[in-house]
Amino acid sequence: MIDWISIPLVGLPLVSSLVLLAFVASADGAARERLGSSIRMVSLVISLAMLGLTTMMFFAQNNSSMYEALGLDKALDWTGLGFGSFNFEFRYVWIEALGIHWSVGIDALSFPMVWLTTFLLPVTIIATWNEKHASTYFPLILMMGGALIGVFVALDLFMFYVFWELTLIPMFFLILKWGGKDRKYASQKFFIYTFTASVVMLLGLVTLYFLQPDQALSYSGSWTGRTFDIPTLTAHAQQGNAGGAWFLGESMQKILFVMLMLGFLVKLPSVPFHTWLPDAHVQAPTGGSMLLAGVMLKMGAYGMFRLPLAFFPHAAEHFQFWLLALGMISLVWGAIVCLGQTNLKKMVAYSSVSHMGVILIGIATMQPLGWAAALFMMFAHGIISPMLFAVCGAFKHHYHSMEIGAMRGMAKHSPWLATSMMFAWMASLGLPLLAGFVAELMMFLALWHFLAANDWSVLWMVGPALVLALTAAYYLWSMQRTIFEGGEETQPPASLNGQPVPDIADSEKFAMIILAVFTILFGVMPWIALDMMNGWTVAFFETLLIPILGGA
């Protein structure tokens, strides 16, 4: 097997972005502007190459020419990979004394996320083709992509944490340099909020590290005798949890679970830790928002599956009520706040909070179906929310305002933007045959099943039912105000100063079409992604959760 991850997927974007930035930094102002278009092209080519590679990985499931091109002698099996095994698993010693390895691998949990990242990179580049300061903007987007993929492929806690924090830096600069009026406040809040939660998580990880027995675990450090290796730790925790025992003891497990979950809940974000998100989104440039909502939020959910849920299933069961409650509050509260928003982007940001609530509910049900719903929601939201933000960005770009109602009768004079907006809004509110619907439906089923099986009150269903109505309400309301209202006599916003109203640019149209096509694709044929997610979930439950917790 060839290591297709370390260099092509992680190293290439990071290093090329640094090289490009260093190159740009040594050029003077005028030369920098000239360089912009070629740097954009280089970034696009690199991101397309990465997308090509991950797409080949997907088709290597059954297409012999694909897996032979990847240097494999048999087809990759994403669906039946089983729990704890990985494709393209590679390991290099990093800091030997502490048991730190550069260790990468992709399983069916991380593969959709990796593909999604590589998919969103070129789409983001295309959608924000005319962004100003192109010579520094596009390398930062590339760096963001490299760091995000690093988080998803890392199989070593140290490496995971390094990439986890590394994602903050390009995003900080994207918000700071290309953001709106309050970008200074928003970028700092974003950085400090997530950093604080992450360091608490780090302390939890270090404590977990030293709570391992000081014995010859595989890949352990020569000096500490412990390992940061995630599969090894998972296997070890699995033993410790077996037979009803609590790995590390009951109170310890609970505390560590809370410490790790804090980092992930802030990133997700879940109410009450969500306040950084609307600020960051409103101020962030379109490209930053697309990646932030599309992939970066998913890091939180991904991390939950990878670490605390695998290490501490007893604690997860113990805190099930709280997880469910948090998810429910995020879902409902996000939707209610959406109703009150006058700012288009802020509304979309709060709708993200609401959708993240769906993920959390899915996780909290502790049902294979619920987890698969959460996984599919991560994926579907990763395609739909960039489209939402691309629409917001185009809106802002052309009408110089984000206020709902600043622009009316869009259907008349900007048919492309109006159509994209309508499509994205419909996808986000869960229209059948679009990707979001599948995830929401699955979550409903899982929640019903869970409530019925465990004799919990049916009143829990009130939340999701209410949210269905609320979501439809705020989306339809905003659509009606911007697209249709105004009738024959449209009202161009005052900020346009009487100039004719333009429609979106060709590159934006192209990005919208791509996103729309994939939204439909995964709505009509969800099994493309759902099969492997389901395979991973079932394997997780069969090998890890059911033997430990019992029942189904």
Which residues contact another protein by CB under 8 A? 21-22, 24-26, 93-98, 158, 161-162, 165-166, 168-169, 172-173, 176-177, 184, 187-188, 191-192, 195-196, 199-200, 202-203, 206-207, 209-214, 223-224, 245-246, 248-252, 255
Q: Please report how close the Cβ of residue 472 comes to another protein at its closest, in angstroms.
A: 40
Q: Please report how close the Cβ of residue 212 comes to another protein at its closest, in angstroms.
A: 8
Q: Please report how close the Cβ of residue 310 comes to another protein at its closest, in angstroms.
A: 18
Nearest in space to 363 (alpha carbons), one of 401, 402, 330: 330
Dihedrals phi, psi of 404, to nearest 5 degrees: -70, 125
Instruction: State whether residue 123 is helix, strand or coil.
Output: helix
Task: Compute and round to an integer the Cα radius of gyration of the chain.
Answer: 23
95 vs 462, beta carbon nearer another protein = 95
Sequence-separated contacts (24+) of 467-471 with Cβ below 8 Å: 467/331, 467/332, 467/335, 467/354, 468/430, 470/332, 470/335, 470/336, 470/338, 470/339, 471/335, 471/338, 471/351, 471/354, 471/428, 471/429, 471/430
156 vs 508, beta carbon nearer another protein = 156
Q: Please report how close the Cβ of residue 25 comes to another protein at its closest, in angstroms.
A: 4
d(CA 209, CA 477): 51
Q: Please report how close the Cβ of residue 314 comes to another protein at its closest, in angstroms.
A: 11
d(CA 79, CA 533): 7
Q: Please report how close the Cβ of residue 102 comes to another protein at its closest, in angstroms.
A: 10
256 vs 326, beta carbon nearer another protein = 256
> Is residue 272 reached through a cis peptide bond, with omega within 30 degrees of 0 on the bond before it?
yes
Q: Please report how close the Cβ of residue 166 comes to another protein at its closest, in angstroms.
A: 6
d(CA 90, CA 473): 49
111 vs 161, beta carbon nearer another protein = 161
119 vs 161, beta carbon nearer another protein = 161
d(CA 80, CA 76): 9
179 vs 526, beta carbon nearer another protein = 179
Cα 335 to chain centroid, rounded: 20
52 vs 249, beta carbon nearer another protein = 249
Contact 112, 375 (CB under 8 A): yes
Our CA angle for 57, 83, 364, nearest 5°, is 105
Q: What is the per-residue DSSP string for 5-23? A: SIIIIIIHHHHHHHHHHHH
Q: Is 225 exposed, middle or buried (0-12, 13-18, 19+ CB in 10 A)?
A: middle
Q: Please report how close the Cβ of residue 200 comes to another protein at its closest, in angstroms.
A: 6
Residues near 194 by beta carbon (within 8 Å), at least 6 away in sequence: 168, 266, 267, 276
Q: Please report how close the Cβ of residue 207 comes to another protein at its closest, in angstroms.
A: 5
Residue 78 CB-half CA count within 13 A: 26
Q: Please report how close the Cβ of residue 287 comes to another protein at its closest, in angstroms.
A: 18
223 vs 321, beta carbon nearer another protein = 223
246 vs 541, beta carbon nearer another protein = 246
161 vs 541, beta carbon nearer another protein = 161
d(CA 539, CA 543): 6
